[in-house]
Chains A and B, each alone.
Chain A
Amino acid sequence: MKNEHQLTKGLFLLLTLALSACTSVTIDQVKHVPSELKAGESIVVIGRRSGTDYETEPELISCIGKTLLKGDNPMNVIPEQEFVNRLYPWFEARTAPVHVWDLQRLLSFDEIAKIIDEYNVHYIVWVDGVTEKTRGGGSISCGLSPAGVSCFGFGTWDEKAEYEASVWDYRTKKLVGKVSSIADGTSYMPAIVIPIPLLAQVQSQACSAMASQLQNFFSGSPDQAN
């Protein structure tokens, strides 16, 4: 009975800690010209992979795409891998167009233009950035006891997710704007017998923020969020 009470107390403590493992998100949007995604038109969300010490995570790109597919105004989002495979080798890390004017060079090749037209692509969204651990602290030690392996201690770490999306208008071959999201959060790992990770959902918060900004970006509103 006493054990059950202690367990409940422990769970309550963990729940309190879980609630405090929160994330703060800062978003920004710059729109140079009004942009609207009409019925039947598609967008492509692709991650930049040319950085030497980091790589925009495929799971973040997939998360943004899936979020844009849902909601009140679902968009036609072409899956990144499908698009990159269809247009192989033109959108690989070392061959992908870096500037919007590079698209003109690419489209001089009829076969590429044909594939992009087939998808009815209006906008190409390039996401650049990464989620990384910025600080870590605490210590957890584990040992072998007659009851088995048991751990004790407390660990904590900070994570920062910083992403920027450049939106290219495929029709006009112009950069129409940028959307950015910075998310910070602290995760905790108390260990009483077993380590219990209480993770700050930094990357998924950055994904939701980016997706919501992009939905707003393509809603056709003439507002300029400079």
Chain B
Amino acid sequence: MVIKQHIKHILKLPLAILLLASTSCTSTLQVEGEFPRPVIHQLPLQVAVHYQDDFRRYRYVEKSEKRSKWEIEIGSAQVALFDTVLPAMFENVVQVSGISPQENTDIDLFFEPYVEEFQYNMPRETKVNMFEVWIKYNMKVYDGQGALIADWILTAYGKTPTAFMKSEENALNEAMIIALRDVGAGLSLKFSHIPEINSWLNKQGQLQ
């Protein structure tokens, strides 16, 4: 009986080491948060939004050997942001599976966001005691016939200071949410100022 117990303990040890090694190698972060609805002028437009699968499931995996291993899942958080911001910007927003004017005849604009680039900085990597996140988005807007009207870059930046008793995951999540709020602010406030969109809205008589 005693020997059996010893064997049990001996078997437990490598299992625990293995478990510890596997958890300490890669940190995974599923970005989570809530976004407020913007207080802005709403444009009387019917807009169809298309999220590609890459966008919907966007996940950053750190490949550099010199950095800690991180897997950051941003997809669902960024979809939640656009799902909150777009209905505040436009009178009617629907999701579509592609830019297909034939199937969506009453649509004024098609909107398609992409993530061009994602970067982050941990406090130990910089002299600043700050978790920082940059996301470079490419926004594409097509007219109701599927012709590209505008294609512009929108950068998002979020930072959060290191704090006592705050885990790296929580701090990075906070910086991510601030960055996503930043892109929501940039999109909702600058949309009609993009020259090509401004010109299109003028032609449609949508600008006051």
Residues of chain A at the chain B interface (Cβ within 8 Å): 53-55, 57, 59, 85-90, 92-95, 109, 111-112, 115, 130, 132
Contact = CB atoms under 8 A, between A and B. Distances in A.
B134 to A, nearest CB: 13
A93 B185 CA distance: 10
Contacts of B185: 88-89, 92, 94-95
B182 A94 contact: yes
Contacts of A93: 178, 182
B36 interface: yes
A93 B156 CA distance: 11
Interface string B23-51: 00000000000011111110000000000
15 contacts: A53-B128, A53-B130, A54-B161, A86-B36, A86-B39, A88-B35, A88-B37, A88-B39, A89-B184, A89-B189, A90-B39, A92-B181, A94-B157, A94-B186, A111-B39
B38 A88 contact: yes
Interface string B171-182: 000000010011
A12 to B, nearest CB: 27
A111 B208 CA distance: 17
Given A88-B39, A89-B184, A89-B189, 11 more contacts: A54-B128, A55-B130, A85-B36, A86-B36, A88-B35, A88-B181, A88-B185, A89-B40, A89-B188, A94-B157, A109-B39
B163 interface: yes
Given A89-B38, A115-B39, A57 B161 contact: yes
Nearest to A85: B36
Given A87-B39, A112-B39, A92 B161 contact: no
Contact of A89 (B129, B163, B181): B181
Contacts of B159: 55
Contacts of B157: 94
B92 interface: no
A54 B37 CA distance: 27
Contacts of B186: 94
A198 to B, nearest CB: 15
B138 interface: no
A88 B36 contact: yes
Interface in B123-144: 128-130
B160 interface: yes
A17 B129 CA distance: 28
Interface string B192-206: 000000000000000
A112 to B, nearest CB: 6
Contacts of B163: 57, 59
Contacts of A95: 185, 189
Contacts of A94: 157, 182, 185-186
B185 to A, nearest CB: 3
Interface string B66-91: 00000000000000000000000000
